[in-house]
């Protein structure tokens, strides 16, 4: 394969129609063709209109049951439409027709759910829901869904107000939409220059790859030019983020929450205490990250580390290409401990076009798993590297979580909460790490893998926690009616970097603008879940690798659980208690031991 994201080479990406069919996902598994998709959209619209007839009639058990049956069918069909059109859009974002299909599906979803916004309000007004289960026993199928609706009762508005809130959803996406257009389309960067004077095209997609290169001149040039680009629009980007925090403030106030944080985490039935506890625990153990920075500085033979030094692999001798076929073999071997059912489905997913493997012109960057009803789909931009092998393990972990939840739960209960979403994916990365380490005992190879693992701790536990703390601070300022200017945001971000990275790292003017490029800050207290999910995954992976068959069965029950319990309860059932700081403490202790092992090998 040839990728224009590589520093050396200059090969152009293939076009979408040049991809081998076996390396693309099989969207026909959802709809055989576009005509079937459009017909389903029409069905969804008709069904939505039919369900509007239940407005004002949900205080009757029979009517409620009929409505929920129709609503369940509608959500299933809409999931199919949204998923199908999104996959087509992402495989080539330059395809205007597929963008149009996605727009139609999204617009219909907003239209339908706005019309049906009466349902939650009227369900909450049912005085004795338990009696409904007695008179219509089939309603038990919907108990979890109904309990989740009623859980939010004190934060739901009148029927007219809820309809107004629902219709404002597209408008409330405006700050993120503006950020996306600036970040993905309008923002341009000066080329980076390497030590030989060669120019390299700098984009949001090539930036981190350039920071991973041994050529320090190239790294620094990429770093300076990248943030110079953001600096040219820093006031506009500050206004976008200020708009986002005010949007969340509006919603939290309207829904009678004590804070924006409480409003955001309550959507996943998580206490704000879990969020605060993460930050507190990381603060108490920040010396371990400082220790890692000291070791990195010594291995790289630097007096001080710059921010553009943090992504360079400290061990390069083992950085060999990994083919997709080899990666499939490795990840499949790594998950055998889950048992026959899991392994057979996993293998089918690897070989039955669940995965869109390679990059092409216009394809969405990064990677994700989309948990469709028929089976999950995985977007990859596989680059014949160890990093993308771990990405494959990660996304297939998501995919199998979705598969198991969909198989074992009712349609309205199959979607697990975001709080637990990163657990299965990261757990499978840990299993792959263990498998690879057992295949080769060469000290340099071990150091190479440990380097990769330590970077996961830095970027997923500590860095995401720093992001979470930044979000908490800026939303508190918005709550106090303070305007988030670029100077204010830069200062907050610089101070956090100084605390997290310690005295061995130079915090310069450029890194103070990093907040401006992070899309997750438009997702309302989302990033902390990477850190908590990573911590839970580290604890559970150790149980899976070193525990009993009962530990494995408990974990599989968690994967099958969907949203039938709160996220904290589901994880407790799997064997880890995220209401306690212990999983975070244990993860940091593991990080500390990896630093010691790495330092010992490198001496």
Catalytic residues: 395
Q: Residue 55 in contact with residue 320, Cβ under 8 Å?
A: no
DSSP conformational letter for 462: I
Q: Residue 192 in contact with residue 225, Cβ under 8 Å?
A: yes
- CB atoms under 10 Å from CB of 180, counted, come to 14
* Structure token pair of residue 434: 């263990």
Q: Tell me how far apart the alpha carbons of residues 386 and 397 are, in angstroms, rounded to a whole number.
A: 17
- Nearby residues of 561 by Cβ (< 8 Å), 6 or more positions away: 405, 408, 409, 416, 570, 573
Q: Is 482 left (phi over 0), alpha (psi -120 to 50) or beta?
A: beta
DSSP conformational letter for 126: -
Q: Judging by beta carbons within 10 Å of its beta carbon (0-12, 13-18, 19+), is residue 321 exposed, middle or buried?
A: exposed
* Cα within 13 Å of Cα(430), Cβ side: 25
- Nearby residues of 553 by Cβ (< 8 Å), 6 or more positions away: none
* Structure token pair of residue 233: 């629009």
Q: What angle do CA 366, 371, 373 make, to 5 degrees?
A: 150
């Amino acid at each position: 394969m040839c990728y224009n994201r590589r520093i050396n080479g200059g090969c152009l990406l293939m076009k979408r129609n040049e991809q081998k069919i076996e390396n693309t996902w099989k969207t026909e598994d959802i709809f055989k063709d576009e005509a079937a998709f459009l017909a389903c959209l029409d069905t969804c619209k008709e069904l939505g209109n039919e369900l509007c007839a239940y407005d004002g009639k949900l205080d009757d058990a029979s009517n409620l049951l009929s409505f929920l049956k129709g609503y369940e069918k509608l959500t299933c069909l809409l999931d199919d439409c949204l998923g199908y059109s999104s996959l087509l859009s992402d495989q080539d974002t330059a395809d205007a027709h597929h963008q149009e299909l996605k727009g139609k599906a999204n617009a219909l979803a907003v239209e339908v759910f706005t019309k049906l916004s009466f349902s939650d309000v009227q369900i909450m007004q049912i005085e004795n829901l338990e009696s409904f289960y007695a008179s219509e026993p089939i309603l038990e199928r919907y108990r979890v869904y109904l309990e989740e609706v009623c859980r939010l009762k004190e934060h739901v508005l009148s029927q007219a107000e809820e309809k107004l809130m629902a219709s404002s959803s597209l408008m409330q996406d405006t700050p993120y939409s503006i950020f996306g257009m600036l970040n993905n389309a309008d923002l341009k960067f000066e080329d980076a220059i390497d030590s030989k004077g060669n120019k390299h095209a700098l984009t949001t997609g090539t930036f981190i790859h350039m920071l991973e290169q041994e050529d320090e001149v190239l790294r620094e040039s990429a770093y300076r030019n990248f943030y110079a680009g953001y600096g040219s629009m820093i006031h506009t980007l500050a206004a976008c983020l200020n708009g986002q925090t005010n949007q969340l403030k509006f919603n939290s106030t309207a829904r009678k929450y004590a804070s924006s944080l409480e409003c955001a985490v309550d959507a996943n039935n998580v206490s704000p205490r879990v969020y605060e506890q993460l930050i507190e625990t990381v603060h108490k153990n920040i010396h371990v990250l400082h220790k890692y920075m000291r070791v990195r500085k010594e291995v790289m033979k630097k007096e001080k580390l710059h921010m553009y030094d943090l992504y360079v692999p400290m061990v390069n001798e083992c950085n060999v290409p990994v083919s997709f076929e080899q990666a499939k073999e490795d990840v499949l071997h790594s998950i055998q401990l889950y048992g026959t059912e899991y392994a057979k489905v996993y293998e089918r997913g690897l070989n039955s076009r669940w995965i869109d493997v390679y990059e092409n012109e216009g394809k969405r960057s990064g990677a994700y798993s989309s948990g469709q009803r028929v089976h999950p789909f995985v977007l990859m931009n596989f680059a014949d590297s160890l990093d993308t092998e771990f990405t494959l393990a990660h996304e297939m972990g998501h995919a199998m979580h979705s598969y198991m939840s969909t198989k074992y739960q009712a349609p309205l209960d199959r979607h697990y909460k975001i709080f637990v979403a990163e657990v299965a994916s990261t757990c499978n990365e840990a299993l792959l790490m263990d498998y690879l380490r057992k295949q080769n005992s060469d000290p340099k190879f071990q150091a190479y893998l440990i380097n990769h693992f330590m970077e996961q701790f830095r970027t997923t536990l500590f860095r995401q926690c720093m992001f979470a703390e930044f979000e908490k601070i800026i939303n508190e300022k918005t709550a106090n009616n303070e305007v988030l200017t670029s100077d204010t945001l830069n200062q907050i971000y610089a101070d956090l970097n100084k605390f997290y990275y310690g005295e061995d790292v130079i915090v310069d003017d450029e890194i103070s603008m990093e907040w401006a490029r992070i899309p997750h800050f438009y997702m309302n207290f989302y990033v902390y879940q990477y850190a908590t999910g990573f911590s839970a995954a580290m604890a559970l992976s150790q149980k899976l690798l070193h525990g009993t068959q009962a530990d494995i069965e408990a974990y599989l029950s968690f994967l099958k659980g969907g949203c039938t319990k709160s996220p904290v309860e589901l994880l407790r059932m799997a064997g880890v208690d995220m209401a306690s700081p212990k999983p975070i403490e244990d993860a940091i202790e593991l990080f500390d031991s990896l630093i010691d092992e790495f330092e010992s090998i490198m001496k």
